[in-house]
Amino acid sequence: MTTIGDLNVYDDIFVGGRWQPANSSRFIEVVNPATEHVWARVPDADAADIDAAVNAAHGAFIGGGWSDIGATARATIIERFADELAARGEAMAAVITRENGTPLTETSAAASHSAGILRYFTGLAPTVDAEDTRPFPNAPGSFTTVRRQPVGVCALIAPWNFPLTLVMVKLAPALVAGCTVVIKPASETPLDLRVLVEAAVAAGIPDGVINIVTGSREAGALLVQHPLVAKVAFTGSTEAGQIIAAQCGTLLRPVTLELGGKSASIVLPDADLDYFASVLNRTCLRNTGQTCYNSTRILAPRSRYTEVVDLVAMTVAATKQGDPLDRATVYGPSASARQRDRVENYIAIGKAEGATVATGGGRPVGLDRGFYVQPTVFSNVASGMRIAQEEIFGPVLVVIPFDDDADAARIANDSRFGLGGSIFSTDDARALALADRIDTGSIGINFFGSNHAAPFGGWKDSGMGVEYGPEGLSAYLRLKSIHRKG
């Protein structure tokens, strides 16, 4: 790293167990969203850089060692990785907050949460090493041994909103499976993975198992299409995911896609509204609305519509927005100028469509620097409005009325997306029956959260495949049947 004034200039990529100078002479600027200050530059990797990283990963995969020692032995090393990562929680939080503006109240748990993901998947290591023996149904004495083997080099491409966690949900199962990886972080958040590398090296992850390149979407495309990549895992927009899916389809390359969302939070007539208010920010506006599964559509019964709108608007207006380094802050800035512009454009669209601004709708007073926009709640929203159909990925909520449970299910399903969702009710049986009618990969009753042990994935335009759970691990394994005659 070279320091020029208060600008940190990095000219390297992590390949084959060491930081080495990038071939590319192009750079990407890293901007602090809370101050608009350019504080770092990193390489915008070119084809030679991508090739070097993939070849290092391929060499580590075929060279013996990591893929051959068995999942149980790998798990011992990965447990050390988890410990080293957790020990760097404070450093990790500071970098992420500076990169994307996520408040410290959120980023402080990033390292420990990711360490927990590593530990969960190490617990599945025995299932990777296990062999199944299956007899031939019509050939007594003959049998087949089914073995699980790693798929090979994996391209892991992560977004900027949860830059560590959304790498880890891919990296942890890949490592346990015995794969080697090349990680490309989002261009907005390239530096937190330097802390991850410190932890991996300290834990003794072998050279070439983890490789990191920074760069633009063009670098990501080169990585996806590299001939030595055996699997792709991507989290990001639906539009980018469609392009990657087409590329992987042409290459017959396995791909996991976790994409956009426009989830619904259904507040049934018997819901405890005080409780709903207490979990509103976590369920509907986590990370200043920059969370894929946020329930940004709130469906309220007509009988309590005004009451729900007032409660939501009051809760949002009373929640602190400001400096993400202040631990009292819940809403930070948008992650970039481009993202703030997107949010403001959708607020203008909502007003033009005839929706009513219940709170917010502009820029916050006193926050003149940084990519801030007021958290905004719209009422008098119809399901067909663009603000109710399109993913905004910012602090904008819409409140839509419904007549009965069937109408709530119809409105919730009136979306191209199907990622998350929530139902609030004091009647568990009623809520569970309604949950079965919602076309979504995950839904919570009286809360929403991701369970490491359960599959997480989107339906419809929200993705392909799943992460987490044994199902997430299986995406990094190939099955081989060895037939034996009795």
Active-site annotation, residues: 258, 292
Please say whether the beta carbons of 247 and 241 come within 8 A. no
Rounded to whole angstroms, the Cα distance separating 70 from 197 reads 23
Q: Which of 258, 179, 188, 180 is nearest to 38 (CA)?
A: 188
Q: Could you give the count of Cα atoms lying within 13 Å of 273 in the half-sphere of its Cβ?
A: 17
**Residue 414 to residue 410: CA distance in whole angstroms:** 6
Per the CB < 8 A criterion, the answer to whether 92 and 165 are in contact is no
Distance CA 168, CA 3 (A): 30
Characterize 169-181 residue by residue with b for buried, 16 or more Cβ atoms within 10 angstroms of its Cβ, and e for exposed.
bbbbbbbbbbbbb
Closest of 167, 133, 230, 180 to residue 483, by C-alpha: 133
- The Cβ-side half-sphere exposure at 92, using a 13 Å CA radius, reads 27
Place of tokens 């359960």: 454
* Separation of first and last alpha carbons in the chain: 63
Strand order from edge to edge, sheet including 12-15: 18-21, 12-15, 210-212, 180-184, 153-157, 231-235, 255-258, 463-464
